[in-house]
């Protein structure tokens, strides 16, 4: 029997691991039915996912659910469980013969200043245990695979590269694009503004983006930042408080999906200057909406954006040139849109699920 940690499945506002679980688990259930292999989906709360071969099992508990409550359950069921799959980064203390875990990134090693010492300690402990005790580690990018080798000396044979998927049709069906008049609220003109969606924090290099944008020629384009404040926001808030920033930059705060993706659909360019990414789904979302992308080369972003993005380096001059370049009549907008469409076709949740399933079985 295969047990899957389903604790991250079904979240209403999914990010990162939750998105991975939401797309992957139903496809693993379908493969269990196809191959007649029983599954148990383990979680602290009831989950709306089941089939003839997939049985949801509620394991009550709140604090340290994986380390305590899941471990106790696996100990009790140790004679029945053959394989455990954990889609996030924390292995329980009790493991069956085969345990597979997905590690999405090691951002806490690349950008330690963005994490508290307590967070770094827990993440380091989890990664070290995974390298030592997991039968196989799924890496969602080559960047993560290399980091596991570099920082933890993980043997190559234990690592399996399985990129995340992307489903353009499902993505486009997940929200409703507002009419163009929706932009009037912020005084925006379609295709005449740069957009960033994500946490407004130092790890995402937002201060760098704001400084660079304010040094570009004022051609009427705006910079729109969508997202909640994060680590390092006070410095960013100071930059946004200048008279010129108040005139040229809009910080909307958090927006629901319909509003955020409507802004993306009408954007001139999506800008993603992150200092590190384990993957980079927002890049694929922009390309799915036919919006050109400017991004950094940090972490896995070159793997994900491919040849369909304009890449900045770490200097403000580089970003300034790119931001000014996309505003000119010579910018090959349609070429980048076409390249983006080709690029997202490289990513498939069905292929991702099939490769994960083959790792489990």
For the chain, what are the domain ranges? 2-165+348-360, 169-344
Q: Where are the beta strands (DSSP E) in the chain?
A: 2-5, 39-43, 54-58, 83-86, 98-103, 136-139, 159-161, 193-197, 222-226, 249-253, 269-272, 293-295, 310-311
Q: What is the CATH superfamily name and number for domain 169-344?
A: Glycogen Phosphorylase B; (3.40.50.2000)
Distance between CA atoms of residues 294 and 311, nearest Å: 6
Distance between CA atoms of residues 132 and 119, nearest Å: 20
Architecture label for domain 2-165+348-360: 3-Layer(aba) Sandwich (3.40)
| Per-residue pLDDT, 125 | 97
Burial environment of residue 358 by CB neighbours within 10 A (0 to 12, 13 to 18, 19 or more): exposed
H or E segment and range at residue 333: helix 333-344
| Per-residue pLDDT, 334 | 95
| Per-residue pLDDT, 267 | 98
| Per-residue pLDDT, 14 | 76
| Ordered mean pLDDT values, 10 residues apiece, the chain (361 residues) | 93 82 95 94 85 90 92 94 95 96 96 93 96 97 97 97 96 94 95 96 95 96 96 94 96 95 98 95 97 96 96 90 94 95 96 98 93
| Per-residue pLDDT, 47 | 81
This prediction has a pTM of 0.92
> Do 2-165+348-360 and 169-344 have matching folds?
yes
| Per-residue pLDDT, 74 | 95
| Per-residue pLDDT, 172 | 95
Q: Name 98's bridge partners.
A: 83
């Amino acid at each position: 029997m295969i047990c899957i940690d389903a604790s991250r499945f079904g979240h209403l506002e999914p990010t990162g691991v939750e998105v991975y679980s939401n797309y992957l688990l139903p496809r693993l259930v379908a493969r269990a039915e196809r191959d007649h292999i029983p599954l148990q989906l383990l979680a602290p709360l009831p989950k709306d996912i089941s089939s003839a071969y997939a049985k949801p099992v509620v394991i009550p508990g709140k604090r340290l659910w994986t380390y305590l409550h899941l471990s106790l359950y696996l100990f009790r069921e140790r004679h029945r469980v053959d394989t455990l799959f954990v889609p996030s980064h924390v292995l329980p203390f009790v493991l069956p013969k085969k345990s597979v875990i997905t590690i999405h990134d090691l951002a806490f090693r690349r950008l330690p200043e963005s994490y508290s010492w307590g967070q770094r300690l827990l993440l380091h402990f989890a990664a070290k245990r995974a390298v030592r005790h997991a039968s196989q580690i799924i890496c969602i990018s080559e960047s993560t695979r290399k980091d596991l080798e570099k920082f933890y000396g993980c043997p190559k044979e234990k690592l399996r590269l399985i990129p995340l998927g992307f489903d353009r049709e499902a993505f486009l069906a997940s929200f409703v694009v507002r009419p163009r008049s929706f932009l009037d609220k912020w005084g925006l003109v379609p295709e005449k503004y740069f957009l960033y969606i994500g946490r407004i924090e130092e790890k995402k290099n937002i201060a760098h983006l704001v400084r660079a944008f304010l040094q570009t020629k004022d051609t009427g384009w705006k910079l729109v930042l969508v997202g909640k404040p994060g680590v390092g926001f006070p410095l960013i808030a100071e930059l946004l408080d200048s008279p010129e920033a108040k005139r040229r930059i809009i910080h909307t705060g958090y927006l629901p999906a319909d509003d955020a993706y409507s802004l993306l659909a009408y954007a001139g360019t999506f800008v993603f200057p992150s200092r590190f990414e384990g993957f980079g789904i927002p890049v694929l979302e922009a390309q799915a909406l036919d919006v050109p992308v400017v991004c950094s080369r940090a972490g896995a972003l070159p793997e994900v954006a491919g040849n369909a993005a304009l890449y900045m380096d770490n200097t403000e001059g580089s970003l300034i040139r790119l931001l000014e370049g996309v505003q000119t009549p010579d910018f090959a907008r349609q070429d980048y849109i076409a390249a983006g469409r080709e690029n997202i076709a490289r990513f498939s949740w069905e292929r991702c699920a099939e490769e994960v399933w083959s790792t489990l079985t």
